[in-house]
Chain A
Amino acid sequence: MKQNDLIMEIIQEQSNIVGEKIALERALSTRVISISENKLKIKGSPEEAIEKLIKAYEEIFGKASVEVCEDVIKKFNTIQK
């Protein structure tokens, strides 16, 4: 469940940068993440989904986009502790 929140946080942060529509399209392009009725569903392991999600965002601005995701993960982990 926590991993789902993290994925949503990453999508939210990317929405701030590229807009909600494109951020969601990128997430769905991973084919392991789906959203129905505002609920996030993951196929396979959450770690794999996060990895694929970051890869999908990397296509936008490269490492700069990856760092945005990594910052969200760091922040998320700090809050969880």
Chain B
Amino acid sequence: MTKSIYPSLEKFLESKFILLPSLTILYWALYQSYTTENIKETNGFIFGILIALLAFIASFFTLLRSFEWEMFKSYLGKSLFFLSLALFAWGIGQTLFLLSSLDSKFDNMYDYVFVLIDPLYLIGIYFISKSLNTFKEMSTKIKVFLITFFIFAVNIFFFSLFRNEEIITSLTNIDFNLLFILGSIILWTFVISILVLSGKKIGGKFKTALYFILVGLLLQYLGDNLFEFSSEFQTNGSIADLTFFLSILFIFNGVVKLNPRSLK
């Protein structure tokens, strides 16, 4: 199955990748421009279905890639396995999110799945950093930990300025908002650290693949923040959803480019 699907999928993404984000943005902008709420809502829901579908497809192909890199026997295989799990969590969470807009019994169930995405991405990116030998020095590890803590404190401060009541509740009774912020900050700091510490060293056949994955993870951070910033962005097909879609698409394209057969 992989033999029949992979080459054509790789060829398609290689030559036509730019079409996918362009068409997505165009479709999103078109239905956003409609003034009728009904049309906006229906298309927002369709956009939500597209996210779930893309996440499931990307998760499946990432798992296959993980097998190709010997899964648990190599850092790269482990990395792809956890990225695949994160994408799967995306698909499940998004499906529950869509169902919650149809039936109240699914309310907030998606939070329990969405909260897993950042930690799973983080484990995935941790193994990529191991592949690149990014944090080999102990002093670097300490610096990254301190930077993460500092950025987290700054973010909490600014969030408390914007959303005073909510953040006070969050700090006394840890809720999902705080976990989402924490998860996305750690992820963001980690990705930036890899780019700063190993950016110049990344080369070879998989340079573009790694950059696609890293940019995809940065888009995830951006989406997380947009989602948390305003309840307006917590609806199907919002700008946060567009960012998430592009994030998954970039990661997916990076994974497809991480083809071990291209070394031969």
Q: Do A and B come from one complex?
A: yes
Could you tell me the distance between the alpha carbons of A22 and B200 in the complex, rounded to whole angstroms? 24
Could you jot down 25 A-B contacts, CB within 8 Å? A16-B74, A17-B75, A17-B76, A17-B131, A18-B69, A19-B69, A19-B74, A22-B69, A22-B70, A25-B263, A26-B263, A58-B203, A59-B205, A60-B263, A61-B131, A61-B206, A61-B207, A61-B210, A62-B202, A62-B204, A63-B200, A63-B201, A63-B203, A64-B201, A65-B204
Contact A58 B76 (CB under 8 A): no
Q: A71-B133, A71-B136 are in contact. Are A59 and B73 (CB under 8 A)?
A: no
Residues of A within 8 A of B133 (CB): 64, 67-68, 71
Residues of B within 8 A of A77 (CB): none
Could you tell me the distance between the alpha carbons of A22 and B74 in the complex, rounded to whole angstroms? 10
Contact A67 B201 (CB under 8 A): yes
Given contact pairs A21-B70, A64-B131, enumerate 8 new A-B contacts (beta carbons under 8 Å).
Answer: A19-B70, A20-B73, A22-B260, A22-B263, A59-B205, A63-B201, A63-B202, A64-B133
Number of contact residues on A: which range applies? 20 to 34
Residues of B within 8 A of A21 (CB): 70
Residues of B within 8 A of A59 (CB): 204-205, 263
Report the number of A-B residue pairs with Cβ-Cβ less than 8 Å: 73
Could you tell me the distance between the alpha carbons of A61 and B203 in the complex, rounded to whole angstroms? 5
Closest A residue by C-beta to B131: A17
Check B264 for interface membership: any CB of A closer than 8 A: yes
A16 CB to closest chain B CB, in angstroms? 6
Contact B204 A18 (CB under 8 A): no
Residues of A within 8 A of B48 (CB): none
Interface residues of B, Cβ cutoff 8 Å to A: 69-70, 73-77, 130-133, 136, 198, 200-207, 210, 260, 263-264
Q: For residues 21 through 69 of chain A, which have their beta carbon under 8 Å from a beta carbon of chain B?
A: 21-22, 25-26, 58-65, 67-68
Residues of A within 8 A of B202 (CB): 61-64
Could you tell me the distance between the alpha carbons of A20 and B74 in the complex, rounded to whole angstroms? 8
B67 CB to closest chain A CB, in angstroms? 10
Residues of A within 8 A of B205 (CB): 59-60
